[in-house]
Amino acid sequence: MQRRNTDIHDVARKAGVSSATVSRVLAGNESVNVELRERVLDAVRELNYRPNRVAQSLRVQKSSTIGLIIPDIQNALFLSLVRAVEDLAYAHQLNVILCNTDDNPEKQKSYLDIMRSQQAAGLIVVPTHPKDAKMLSPVQASGTPIVLVDREISGFEADTVIVDNFRGTQLAIAHLVALGYRRIAILAGPQNLTPGRERLQGYYAALDSADVEPIPELVKMGTFKLDSGYDLTRELMLSANPPDAIFASNNLMALGCLRALHEMRVRIPEEVALISFDDMPWAEDLNPPLTAITQPSYELGQQALELLLNRMKNPDAAYRKVILQPQLIIRKSCGANRQE
């Protein structure tokens, strides 16, 4: 029987390191410490390993492309994130392939398969589901670095960049309470996603801190879509006891809420106040200008790519979690002049 040729995985096992570490040593990458480098080179000599130069050239090609997988290209948050990733990637001579999943796990799987076939150097992913570990783990195990953005996944270790959703919602609700509102409704996002879950938790925590009793019928569960915000707002305003303020859990829900309120000729903020988690480029131009919790969306993209670049250079480094802080932008949709 013909003996199998020694490959990079044999060298990695012999040296007690990852295949990625072996690749970096053979490529002359100086980020590998001296002890690991010597172990790898000793294993190469002992096993008489001869690198496949064709495969090496393919790996060089792989390093010029990264994948960016997001759930909704129409969401202004992700538009800004995409711009940041592209700006920084261009500065590092990297190409970006943009994929839009519509929060559809099947589309995400298809894009992940494409990224693997294209030998992407790394991926920045806004996952569709908290149980996406099963889908992402094989990609990561193949040696493709992954950075998660905006959402976390249980049972999956990766570099992550998120916004403090809990704190941002607390700022919004505290602002409403300070202005005298007590019947505060929330248009909540999907509870299987980190932002939706943490923003609802922040809502309850802020009411508790202000000694305001939450009203179950004012908690409306929906999706992060415009139609959801529209439908839930109509439900609230057509009820026997409508709210005096509404917190929309993202910008698309806020737009749907605004559409419903304008159609119903409900005056903002005279009849109901409105505040949104997510600012929008045109929020200042709305009637009235929209008070919002602004996320550092451009910085989200910057941080994500910086983490990916670092992971590409140092595959064995400890995983990092970056939490960015949102800010309250006070405009006119909550009637702040009541107290000013």
At residue 263, the pLDDT reads 97
d(CA 154, CA 127): 11
Q: Tell me, what amino acid is at 286?
A: L
d(CA 78, CA 161): 13
Sign of CA dihedral 98, 102, 108, 111: negative
At residue 8, the pLDDT reads 80
pLDDT in tens, 279-333: 988 889 888 999 999 999 999 999 999 999 999 999 989 999 999 999 999 999 9
Specify the DSSP class assigned to residue 333. Answer: T
For the chain, list the domains and their CATH numbers: 8-59 (1.10.260.40), 64-163+298-326 (3.40.50.2300), 165-296+328-338 (3.40.50.2300)
d(CA 157, CA 140): 10
At residue 116, the pLDDT reads 86
| 52 close to 80: Cβ distance less than 8 angstroms | no
Query: CA angle, corner 74, sides to 129 and 300, nearest 5?
Result: 65
At residue 85, the pLDDT reads 96
pLDDT in tens, 167-204: 999 999 999 999 999 999 999 999 999 999 999 999 99
Omega of the bond prior to 269 within 30 degrees of 0, cis? yes
Low-confidence ranges of the chain (pLDDT < 50): 1-2, 53-54, 57-58, 60-62, 338-340
At residue 235, the pLDDT reads 98
| 223 close to 251: Cβ distance less than 8 angstroms | no
Run of H or E including 220: strand 219-221
What are the structure tokens assigned to 36, written together? 């690991």
At residue 2, the pLDDT reads 46
